[in-house]
Chains A and B, each alone.
Chain A
Amino acid sequence: MHELGIVFHIIKTVERVGEENGLSAVSKVTLELGEVSGAIPRELIDCWNWAVRKSELLKGAELVIETIPAVTLCESCSQTYETVRYGRICPNCGSDLTYLVQGNEMNLKEIQAC
């Protein structure tokens, strides 16, 4: 269960930040998630809602997911294109020498707390 492992890591990090900043309750955590990061938003939220119940600091906190679109760069023609729509083969020139430039992210953006 990949999503659950990720959720546990987010909770661990938020708990550390909470301690460092003397927070008493976290109400919202915002995650930036790349379109092809491999984690499924729906699953993350399900795991989150289950896992935060066991945390003093995060009880009832909401997980907000902001999606980062995936973009691929073609080495052959130097153009970028939408990864999810076209996949690995460049739609402009047909080359397979392509690299993901964004869309793999899994960043903890911010937390709302008191």
Chain B
Amino acid sequence: MDKVRIIEIRESVFADNDREADRIREGLKRDKTFLLNLMSSPGSGKTTLLMRTIEALKNEFDIGVMEADIDSSVDAEKIAKTGVRSIQLHTGGMCHLDAGMTEQGLKEIGASDLDLVILENIGNLICPADFDTGAVRNAMILSVPEGHDKPLKYPHIFTVCDVLIISKIDVMPYFDFDLEKVREYALMRNPKLEIFPVSARTGEGMGAWTEWLKTQVNEWNNGVKLLTE
């Protein structure tokens, strides 16, 4: 009989995933590929925003989209109509994507010869926030009908995101939605958060968002030096 022993680990449950995510980012840097992880509640307007974003940037970049819906390929088919490369990820019924699943997706889509890959994560505000996917930047969409107190109810996701897109601002007159309040609450959780109010329907605010994304992609793929030339 072997002797029973205790092995101390004292590490976050997510530590292995975090290390794998770091490896993915190193690979993306080498391949000059920018990965954006897009998170939100279901129905917040991710697919619609993506279609508009792709329209704005597809002449500039080779773009790919990875859709992570649990069990349908409707969104992947919509994206395919824009002419960019798109795949459906297989999450096995899970509520989030982890670094391992993202890496498989990147291989499948052939990310190394794309400039920008966007990951439409599974629609919820809790689980995806715990798992680093290896993305260069994390974005979340909060739509006007969801209400301005979401940063108070789901603080964690606001701390892991670089960008907050407030979507469907065209319907603001019909909802009791306070844009200043949402800014205040979100910045309370994460002072570095970039905030873009947009409407994918009217196009309002879309320019500022796509400019930001364009700059991020160029900085990552070419280094800051090229930008100042």
Contacts and interface: CB of A to CB of B under 8 A. Distances in A.
Contact of A5 (B2, B7, B15, B94): B94
Interface in A84-108: 88, 97, 100, 104-108
A97 B155 CA distance: 13
A108 B95 contact: no
Contacts of B15: 13, 108
Given A1-B94, A88-B152, A97-B188, A13 B6 contact: no
Given A38-B156, A113-B4, 6 more contacts: A5-B95, A5-B127, A13-B16, A27-B4, A104-B156, A110-B7
B60 interface: no
Nearest to A12: B16
A108 B94 contact: no
Interface residues of A, number: 31
Given A106-B12, A109-B9, A5 B98 contact: yes
Given A1-B93, A2-B126, A114-B2, A109 B14 contact: no
A38 B152 CA distance: 15
A4 B98 CA distance: 13
B7 A21 contact: yes
For the complex of A and B, the 9 pairs showing the least CB-CB separation, nearest first, are A114-B2, A108-B9, A106-B13, A114-B4, A110-B8, A13-B16, A2-B127, A5-B94, A111-B7
B96 interface: yes
A112 interface: yes
A55 interface: no
Contacts of A53: none
